[in-house]
Structure formats: C-alpha cells, structure tokens
Amino acid sequence: MLLLRGTAVGLAVTQIGPPDRPRLRVKLFQPVSLSGAEPLAVAALDRLLGLRVDLSAFYALAARDPALASLARRFRGLKPPRFPTIFEALVNAIACQQITLTMGIRLLNRLAERYGYTAPDGEAVGLPEPARLARVEPEALRDLGFSRQKALALVGLARTAADGQVDLEALDGLDDAAAVARLRELRGIGRWTAEYVLLRGLGRLHVFPGDDVGARRNLRRWLALTGDLDYAGVQQVLAAWQPYAGLIYFHLLLDRLAASASADLCSEPAAESG
C-alpha cells in the first residue's frame, strides 16, 4: 500500500525480464478512487526504489578496485531505497536511535498499527501522517515502547510539520551543511539522524552516516581494519570511493543482514535519543 495524496492505494510490483534487462510490472488494486493514481504511483516507486538512479559510474569505479568489486558484484543491481517523504525518514530515524534495527522496526510497526492509515479491510499499512500524529500525546507513545525523549521528538516533529512551521521537502534544495543545520534545529535530531535523512530521505549517495556504530563495524569488518574508527576516520577511509559512500553503506548493510538475522543498523549518541 502507498499513501498517494492522502489516499491509500494498493499495488503489486513484480520484476519481469532477465537480471541484466529487468523491467517492473505494476498493478494497482481496484477500486482506485484517486484521480491520476497511475502517474502518482510511478513517481512514488521511482523514489522508493531508486529506479532512475544510474549506477554505471559506480560499477566502473568498482571494476578498478578489488575490494569494492567483490562487494558490488555480490549485490549487483541494488538500487538505493528512499523513504516516500522526509517526514517518514525522520520518523524511522528517531525510532531507531540507540537500538537495533529489529527493535526499531517493532516500534515502527506498533506506531503504524495504533495511529497509521489503514487499508479498506482495516489492516494497518503505513505510518501516520503529521496531522494524525500531531494530535497524539507523547505519553501515549510511551505505552508503545518509545522513550520519553523519542516520544517528545516524534510528536514535536509532527506538530511542527502539520502547522507549516517547517517544509521538510524543501530540504532537497539545500546543500548538505545547510540541510543538516536545519534538521538539527528540530528536537531530538543530531548529526546521525540528520545524515541518515540525507541518505535515506534525500537520496544523497555520497553520505555515509559516520556516527552509526553498526555501520562502522560493518566498514571495519569489510576492510579488515584492526583499529577503531571515529567519525573522521570513517570519512577518511571512504574518501577513495566518493561520491558513493552512501551506496557502500547500503551494500555493507545487506552484507551484514545476509550473515545475521539482526544488525546494529541504528546507533547514535545518547544525547540524541534519550
């Protein structure tokens, strides 16, 4: 299900054709009452699945680098995923602060089940929109397992977005430094969350969230590094593969998930998550 202009639209996406010449078949479930649902769905899928991202330069870079070549070959065809909105990227990031990916997903599922939009059959199929979450008292999110600081951050974000105090989608027009600075003005948003949103919400593939402890471990494991990596060290190590550090982030995450049922994807300073 996708939320398109406030309407929940069901769709099925199937890959057809061989791996080297893939195509997607998209079917919208009827009845679809939303006018212009087809182009809206295509635009949403372009963003969600990174369909129009050209990776030819990345593969050319990988071909010249043995370490990267092996990783890229294993997950060849991976397109960088994005959240459908910046608001949703922020909600996901806040939920995942200082906990594992598995626990973060559980919190998000609870949030969707309690306050998200639903399919005609009553099944919860998406996170709440800002206006819906803005009406929720932070204490109610505590009952779902969110910490006090996360609950305050989520409701505060929703209220700020719902009343027009901030246009989150306008962040796309800012450079990295300005976007990070604007995001960090919001309650509960630190450097990790801001950089995560740059990658997962704005699709900036050169951004590797350097405060992500799990991602640092993945990077050290991949490169067989013995010493610890701090934020500056992450940026230095990845400099040779720019502007694709964020794409490497995705590849390393998949590599880790393939080897383990759970991974420390979400980790940032305690000051951000409370």
Question: Tokens in use for 21?
Answer: 């010449």
Question: Tokens in use for 151?
Answer: 């609950």
Query: pLDDT of the chain along its 274 residues, tens only?
Result: 777 777 777 888 998 888 778 888 988 876 666 678 888 888 999 999 999 999 999 999 999 999 999 999 999 888 999 999 999 999 999 999 988 888 999 999 999 999 987 666 666 668 899 999 999 999 999 999 999 999 999 999 999 999 989 999 999 999 999 999 999 999 999 999 999 999 999 999 999 999 998 899 999 999 999 888 999 999 999 999 999 999 999 999 999 888 775 444 444 443 454 3
Backbone angles phi, psi at 167, to 5 degrees: -100, 95
Residue 124 pLDDT: 61
Residue 122 pLDDT: 63
Phi-psi region of 225 (alpha: psi -120 to 50; beta: other; left: phi over 0): beta
Backbone angles phi, psi at 68, to 5 degrees: -70, -35
Q: How large is the angle between the packed helices 56-63 and 66-74, nearest 10 degrees?
A: 130
To which residue do tokens 């640092």 refer? Answer: 216
Residue 57 pLDDT: 96
Residue 121 pLDDT: 64
CB 183 within 8 A of CB 194: yes
pTM (predicted TM-score) = 0.88
Nearest alpha-carbon partner for 132 in 267, 273, 6, 257: 6
3-state SS string for the chain? CEEECCEEECEEEEEECCCCCCEEEEEECCCCCCCCHHHHHHHHHHHHHCCCCCCHHHHHHHHCCHHHHHHHHHCCCCCCCCCCCHHHHHHHHHHHCCCCHHHHHHHHHHHHHHHCCECCCCCECCCCCHHHHHCCCHHHHHCCCCCHHHHHHHHHHHHHHHCCCCCHHHHHHCCHHHHHHHHCCCCCCCHHHHHHHHHHCCCCCCCCCCCCHHHHHHHHHHHCCCCCCCHHHHHHHHHHHCCCHHHHHHHHHHHHHHHCCCCCCCCCCHHHHC
Domain limits, CATH 1.10.340.30, in the chain: 86-200
Residue 48 pLDDT: 92
CA distance 161 to 184: 15
The domain made up of 86-200 is a member of CATH 3.40.50.720: no
